[in-house]
Homo-oligomer: A and B are copies of this chain.
Amino acid sequence: MKIALAQLNYHIGNFGQNSEKIIAHIEKAKEQGADLIVFSELAVTGYYPHDLLERKEFYERAEQTLQQIAQSCRGIAALVGGPSINPESRGKKLFNSAFFMNDGKIEHVVHKSLLPTYDVFDEYRHFEPNTHFSLIEYKGKKLAVTICEDLWDEQETQNEFGKEKLYKISPLRELAKLNPDLVINLSASPFSYNQEDSRKNILIKNALTYNLPIVYVNQVGAHTELIFDGGSFFLTADGKIPFEMNYFEEDFGIVDTDNPEKREQPKTGYIEKIYKALVLGIRDYFRKMGFKKATLGLSGGIDSALTLVLAVDALGRENVRVLLMPSKYSSDHSVQDAVALAKNMGVQYEIVPIQAMVDAFEAHLAPIFKNLPPDITEENIQARTRGVLVMALSNKFGNILLNTTNKSECAVGYGTLYGDMNGGLSVLGDVYKTDVFRLSRWINRNEEIIPWNTIVKPPSAELRPDQKDTDSLPEYDVLDQILFSYIELNQSPNEIIAKGFDEPTVLRVVRMVNNNEYKRFQAPPILRISSKAFGFGRRMPLVAKYS
């Protein structure tokens, strides 16, 4: 059977654009002689629509769009992801479904059985799980149609005490009893750099266990925080992947399941993948929000430097404009490095020294502060003055502010709320500082794009004389290992100490993470590249006592 894989970038709720794309690809697949074309999970709505699924007008548009697509599906069959109504009078109102379209109509609707409800996933909030299993017969082949998590029945629980399995049923085990010829999986599986192999391994294990080939179609593109990397593939019953599609971009291809064409993807390191993920994340945020132009405050430090490079690569230099806002504590080299980078990147830049505003604030607060010594307050006034300036540029010219805070800072609360924590989108909020260095060096692999001085100098917020990040934080290579253990691995402080880290340091870092939930609560959306990013995939109570 000749199956077309349509790996597309959808826009949540943009039914017109999504259906145009889907219909155009049905036509293309038909012209190229495919028997069937497969789209990804919830293709018609985009994944994930969240509580828009509770709105009547949203569901009705989805239903109309699916009918419209079915009408255009003649001389070829299609599998399209979308929501469907649960006809029972009890249970969640919707199923997460795959619509099998043929001869101008919807012939079968298959529902998802395993509904991920952990980390960034909320599917049981909106969907009823399927419990009935059947195959679709088409052109003499019996198809086992599954949706994303349906093949992840060996998924482990998120709790880090005893790694048991999350799901009680195995959809493919049920379907295998019916003797299918082929498994099809409509997916929406987001990228995370530290789980890059698990997706393929899980699908290979399925293919080998049931001795069945699998057609796997993932969505691509970013929806606010979540970045979908594509990489759809065809997997043979003996666990080989002869045909693999591009990562981080739309792709289309036809596989003859009896005689698959060879198509391999080049191996890339995780740093390059993170780079591509972030560029796609920025680009799609702007494109899908209807924005064109970005701005950011360029300090001469590495975080804003890297953010600028990513922004220019995503949006074009003509759409990025930066503001340099030196204070009396900014070193000369910081300003020089920032200017050098802005020139390297060819972006418009302006310099607005902040001292006059800071002085005005301090003068007007002096009668209230009286003779109290300077403290974090005065540092925050500097950061917030910059926040006002760059937001003014954003408001006046429509340039969306990109936040430049990295994950290490975000974790320990090393940033000023309503100051440098401002922004419409956080670009590096899921990138540890040590990876910020690696990314910057990777960007400079052929030529000096980011001034080397920016990369090699000791990190500093430059909010008081001779300040260094290491005045109040451990070295970043130690800090990031502790943070990774606590956040991604969900290990307890005792477990982290048992790995050989200094006890007071571990306890201090963990305390900083816990005490700064309130700051992260108000942070911008963070592009997610790891298995556990700050934001809606990590839901911690604000008002709580952490032991």
Q: Which residues of B contact A490 (CB under 8 A)?
A: 54-56
Size range of the interface on A? 35 or more
Cα A207 to Cα B361 in complex, Å, equals 63
Q: Which residues of B contact A357 (CB under 8 A)?
A: 357, 360-361, 364
Any B CB within 8 A of the CB of A456: no
Q: Which residue of B has the minimal Cβ distance to A383?
A: B388
B52 pairs with A13, CB closer than 8 A: no
Cα A544 to Cα B285 in complex, Å, equals 10
B161 pairs with A56, CB closer than 8 A: yes
Q: Which residue of B has the minimal Cβ distance to A544?
A: B12
Cα A522 to Cα B453 in complex, Å, equals 34
Q: A90-B168, A361-B388 are in contact. Are A52 and B540 (CB under 8 A)?
A: yes
Any B CB within 8 A of the CB of A300: no
Q: Which residues of B contact A545 (CB under 8 A)?
A: 11-14, 17, 288
Q: Which residue of B has the minimal Cβ distance to A363?
A: B356
Q: Which residues of B contact A492 (CB under 8 A)?
A: 55-57
Q: Which residues of B contact A377 (CB under 8 A)?
A: 392, 395-396
A540 pairs with B51, CB closer than 8 A: yes
Q: Which of A515-547 contact B (CB under 8 A)?
A: 518, 521-525, 536, 538-547
A541 pairs with B224, CB closer than 8 A: yes
Mark contacts of A134-151 with chain B using CB atoms, 8 A cut-off: 1 yes-contact digit, 0 otherwise: 000000000000000000
Q: Which residues of B contact A430 (CB under 8 A)?
A: none
Any B CB within 8 A of the CB of A418: yes
Cα A422 to Cα B90 in complex, Å, equals 43
A392 pairs with B381, CB closer than 8 A: yes
A166 pairs with B90, CB closer than 8 A: yes
Q: Which residues of B contact A51 (CB under 8 A)?
A: 158, 538-540
B93 pairs with A157, CB closer than 8 A: yes
Mark contacts of A488-529 with chain B using CB atoms, 8 A cut-off: 1 yes-contact digit, 0 otherwise: 001011110000000000000000000000100111110000
Stretch at the interface among A176-184, A263-271, A367-375, A464-472: A367-375
Cα A84 to Cα B490 in complex, Å, equals 19
Q: A166-B92, A490-B55, A523-B522 are in contact. Are A418 and B391 (CB under 8 A)?
A: yes
Q: Which residues of B contact A380 (CB under 8 A)?
A: 391-392, 395
A92 pairs with B157, CB closer than 8 A: yes
Mark contacts of A342-364 with chain B using CB atoms, 8 A cut-off: 1 yes-contact digit, 0 otherwise: 00000000101100110011011
B385 pairs with A285, CB closer than 8 A: no
Cα A380 to Cα B401 in complex, Å, equals 15
Q: Which residues of B contact A117 (CB under 8 A)?
A: 117, 124-125
Q: Which residues of B contact A242 (CB under 8 A)?
A: none
Any B CB within 8 A of the CB of A213: no
Closest 7 CB pairs of A and B: A12-B544, A377-B395, A14-B545, A57-B492, A56-B161, A93-B159, A224-B542
What are some 24 contacts across the A-B interface (CB < 8 A)?
A: A11-B544, A12-B543, A12-B545, A14-B544, A14-B545, A51-B539, A52-B544, A52-B546, A55-B490, A61-B547, A88-B164, A90-B165, A93-B164, A117-B125, A118-B125, A224-B541, A289-B542, A352-B364, A356-B360, A356-B363, A357-B357, A380-B392, A391-B418, A424-B518
